[in-house]
Structure 1
Amino acid sequence: METFTMGPAILFCPADRPERYLKAAERADAVILDLEDAVAPEAKAQARKYLIENPLDPERAIVRINAADTSDFALDLDAVLRTEYRTVMLAKAESAEQLRLIADHGVQPRASLRVLALCETALGVVRAAEIAQEPNVVGLMWGAEDLLASLGGSSSRHDDGSYRAVALQARSQVLLAAGAFGKAAIDAVYLNIPDTAGLAAEVADAVASGFAATACIHPSQAAVIRQGYAPSEAEIDRARALLEAAEAASNGVFQFDGKMIDGPVLKHAQATLRRASQA
């Protein structure tokens, strides 16, 4: 099973703005070249042409394709298969059958595509565990505003910027589905661009909760996300010392800095060192 290694800061870039491609790649760990919401219907054909003619490093680029029930879906896949990109994000993913449509699209060996399933409707969130089990899925992302729109709501957040209960449930449900089947989870975008403190707090919670990456909509947000996912020197030193103490311990449970240490705590330390190596 392939794993998702891009991140932690993944920046959306409209596919019909090729002059932004390289700038986005310079500012973030990976770029999502967006053929869906960021592109007007009348500009989608031209966006696919730009996608083909302006290549980025395929190891650091994702193409968001339109939903499986749209006429653009197959056209987007055809365009992707004319490039070196091999990771796509399926907008409004709602079933395992939609993931199989991607797996079956095209007949040449190079047609194998890795998929980030974007669960951003009520049905997609409810079926997140089903979607996560598909072999071509390498990760799940959730989307707040489309989710609330699918419910007939008007906003995913309260006036203070915190998520409403239904959005928090969806976030947790997608994270749990991804974790249950060994797939990466990507946190949703933070729309209030000037509020870097709010973004930093949300990233800190994402890291502590187990998200592998956070998507963003503005280059200035990438640095905040990177900083949030990168452990401090003190955290790295403590994780290393803890794991060294575990090796020296004669049994499975031992004391470190006056606290009892067992398996889950050691896994937390290992996760800290993994984030440090990625940073």
Structure 2
Amino acid sequence: MKFTHRSYLFVPGDSARKQEKANSTGADAVILDLEDSVAAASKDAARQLTLDWLQTPAVMARFVRVNALSTGRTAEDIAATAPGQPDGYVLPKCESLADIAETAALIAKAGSQAPILIIATETVRAVRQLMRSDWSHPALGGMAWGAEDLAADLGALSNRCDDGTWRASFAMARACAFLAAKDAGVAAIDGPYTALKDTQGLNHEARAAFAEGFDGKLAIHPAQVPIINAAFKPSADQIDYAKRVVDAMAQSGVAALDGQMLDQPHLLQAKRILDLGSRE
């Protein structure tokens, strides 16, 4: 299964108020977080609040981010929330195909078939594994990346250069996660933009990610959702041009349009744009 959502909004698993507010954000998917946003003393309560909200109607897909396998809490996180039938589980600090398989087994043991979205660049070991291994797995629906935990593991003082671009190690991690997702045939999800007040920067980064081929982006504040949703949809001009490409190639494997030679890769790209443009 490949996820098709544009925006994935993190919501603390221990905040009923923020969970209820998520219904009006317009997010394609909400990630109910049992990991970083929940203090150790509140983790058990967060499981129950998350289950309670999963058992009420919602207008978007709902995922549960469990605690990392290394914490020993993953199995209980899944068992406690599986009765709410989440649309997927998010596995942080995923370092290998074996981690995916272990998590899939825990989900199946809990009586669920929910697919998995992994965050695959939060440790140095994970990044090094991304280009070494085939990460394909029947339970995998998407791969995301993030820079904050990786910075901590690297001992980096910052993850971006003064001009806002990623420092070399983080740019490489992002590219590795993107390529591994595409190779596995699952959704490639861009990481969050942490400068909450910089809407222009978020818009630029989200549009660049869409142009590169990413399928969606993580959000850490409700105000980021409409910007991401708009960025991950083709413009009217792009849709119009894609229609012209399809029409021009209807009778032949190659064609010319506006002085440019077209062949099958252009047709595939045009069809993808039309497919994306048809989604709500």
Q: What's the TM-score, normalizing by structure 2?
A: 0.93
Aligned to 2:92: 91
Q: How many residues align?
A: 275
Counterpart Cα distance in 2 of 1:193 and 1:138: 28
Q: How does 1:61-140 map to 2 (within 5 A)?
A: 61-105=62-106, 110-119=111-120, 120-128=122-130, 130=133, 132-140=135-143
Aligned residue number for residue 13 of structure 1: 11
Equivalent in the alignment of 2:255: 254
After the TM superposition, which of the residue ranges 104-113 and 39-48 deviates more from structure 2? Answer: 104-113
Question: Which one of 221, 227, 231 corresponds to residue 228 of structure 1?
Answer: 231
2: CA distance, partners of 1:43 / 1:33: 14
SS in 2 for 1:278: coil
Counterpart Cα distance in 1 of 2:50 and 2:99: 23
Contact 1:58 1:86 in 2 (8 A): no
Question: Please, which runs of 5 or more residues in structure 2 have no aligned partner?
Answer: none
Deviations 1:1-50 (A, max 9, x none): x2212x20111100111111132232111101010001111110010010
Q: CA deviation at 1:108?
A: 5.7
CA RMSD of aligned residues (A): 1.8
After TM superposition, where is structure 1 displaced by more than 3 Å over at least 4 residues in a row? 56-59, 106-110
- Which residue type is aligned with residue 46 of structure 1? A
Q: Secondary structure at the match of 2:70?
A: coil
User: Normalised by the size of structure 1, how large is the TM-score?
Assistant: 0.93
**Aligned partners of 1:94 and 1:131 also within 8 Å:** no
> Matches of 1:109 and 1:216 in 2, distance apart?
28
Kindly state the Cα deviation for residue 116 of structure 1 after the two structures are TM-superposed: 0.5
Offset at residue 229 of structure 1 (A): 1.1
| CA drift at 1:269 | 1.1
Name the SS for the 1:247 alignment partner: coil
Instruction: Tell me the percent identity.
Output: 37
Give the drift of 1:267: 1.7
